[in-house]
Every structure is written in C-alpha cells, then in structure tokens.
Amino acid sequence: MANATDLALAHHLADLADGIARRYFTAAGLTVHTKNDGSPVTDADWEIEHSLRSEIRRRRPHDAFIGEEYGERGKARRRWIIDGIDGTASFVAGEPEWSTLIALEDHGTITLGMVSAPALGSRWWAAPGAGAWTGPSPSRSPAHSRRLTITPGGHGHDAVLGIWPPPHRLSEPHRAIAAKLAGHTARTRPALDWSAAETSTPPPRKPSTGSGTCHGGLLVATGQLDAFLLLGAGPWDIAALIPIVQEAGGAFSDLAGQQRTDTGAALFAKPAIHHELLAVIISST
C-alpha cells in the first residue's frame, strides 16, 4: 500500500514534472512530433517521463515503472505508472488543460493517484482510505487543500455523460457502446452523434476543456459530470484517476466490471449510475 512517504515522493515527482513542463510551455518554437498512432508528442513528454523514471530509480530502486512514451522497466510488486503530459494537443495549442498523471500500483491495485496541472495552478491526489484532495502544490501552498466529495444518487436517464475520444477515432464495437450509453443518458459531452463514423467539423473538444480540470475522470470527482467513458486508453491514462474518483465517493471499472487498467477502457461514475451504465454495456456486448 502507499504511505505518507510515497505520497510525498509523488508530490516531488509532480513538482519536477511541473518545472519541466512550464519551461517548454512558455518557450517559443515548441517542436511537435507525430507518433505511429497519429497523436502528437513533444520533447516535454519525453523529458518528463525520462526525468521521473530516473528519480524513481534513484529513490525506489526496487520499484518497476511504465510510461506512455518509453514503455515498461522492471517487474516488481510495486509499479509506478506515468503519463508525462496528458493532453499534449492542448499543451501544443497553448491551452492550460494538460497535466502529468502519476500512479502507484501494488500487487495489481492502484494505491496512489496524482494529477498535476501547473498551468491551472491545480493538483488532485488520493490514496485509499486517505480521501481525495485538490489544491495547489503543497510545496507552494500547503494549507489550501480541499477534500473532494461526490454527491451520491442519480439515475442514468438524467445523467450527463462525458465520452472520449470522438466517434471517428473509435473501433466499431466501442462506437456501438458509446452510442448505446449516449441513448441511455440525458446528454453527452461533447454533444455528438456517437453512432457516426464520420469526422465532425469543427473537431470536437474534450469534455474537460473549459471546465477547469484536465481529464474527464476528474470531472466526475469534482461533480461536473455524472459519468465519464474513456475508450482506447492505456494504463497511464486511467490509473491515476482511479483512487481520486473512488476516494471522492465514485466508482470505476473497465467495460466488463473489472478493476483493471490494461483493457483499454474505463468507466468512472457516481456509484448508482455506474452500476446502471455498466449493466447497459454488458447487456449490449
């Protein structure tokens, strides 16, 4: 399990990532590369992941590590899961809603999650049994943290559901699931025809854009969405959000109802709505 020392290390790693990201974010002429899947990556993504990997190796030499850009290093009971910059497109566009995602896994269970968004001056973190919190970096303002609490209850037919990515980037089975859930809920963000395979014009914005958070899972933890469906994701996109949503009072699973980060999908929601939407997913597959 994560402990106070692990949480302190996660904040330290987030501080390191914040410093690197700020340097690139405010610099002119940021170089953008294109990965094999067509998504953007920058030198900031690479440097953050390399720096955090090196710091974890120095401070926790027996822990394993996996990151979006450089893959996995080592096999161990404990594993750090890192996304150097989540929301690289926003980062490149000069928009503030991007973040570094940091998680710690112990025997297959995520025991610590942290999301740091320096351009917003915000951070979110949680560990099982310790609550979910938001505030500035404790090193900058240690006395201004606020506990997150999700209002329970609700029904799927009244729910606001965030879904990402947009339909044209989804596989046909995932697009069918998104369309099924969109038809079951009151409205979706973004408001799209989730059964359509065509590219929309203009390109849709993520559910988090303009909301003051960086990730759809955080919108659930902060009460701005009732549910969020993330499809085609890696463990680095999901892991850090799990304890934050759960400690705030929400629920998480993959599309089969399992507590896994390696199946490419995540459903975050208020507990009653999560149960309802998961039943819709399972009945349609």
Query: What CA–CA distance (Å, rounded) separates 13 from 138?
Result: 12
Backbone angles phi, psi at 69, to 5 degrees: -90, -35
pLDDT in tens, 72-100: 898 999 999 999 999 999 999 999 999 99
pLDDT range class, residue 195, cuts 50, 70, 90: very high
Q: Does pLDDT of 23 surpass 60?
A: yes
Stretch 171-184: mean pLDDT: 96
Position of tokens 């928009």?
95
pLDDT bin (cut points 50, 70, 90) of residue 202 is confident
Do 90 and 222 meet the contact criterion of CB atoms below 8 Å apart?
no
CATH number of 4-147: 3.30.540.10
Task: Give the residue extent of every domain in the chain.
Answer: 4-147, 156-283
Burial class of residue 190, CB neighbours in 10 A (0-12, 13-18, 19+): middle
Task: Please state whether 232 falls in left (phi above 0), alpha (psi between -120 and 50) or beta.
Answer: left
| Lowest mean pLDDT across 18-22, 134-138, 147-151, 166-170 | 134-138
Whether the pLDDT of residue 1 is over 90: the answer is no
Please tell me the CATH code under which domain 156-283 is placed.
Answer: 3.40.190.80
pLDDT at 80: 98
- Joined tokens for residue 234: 């890696």
What integer is the mean pLDDT of 51-55? 97
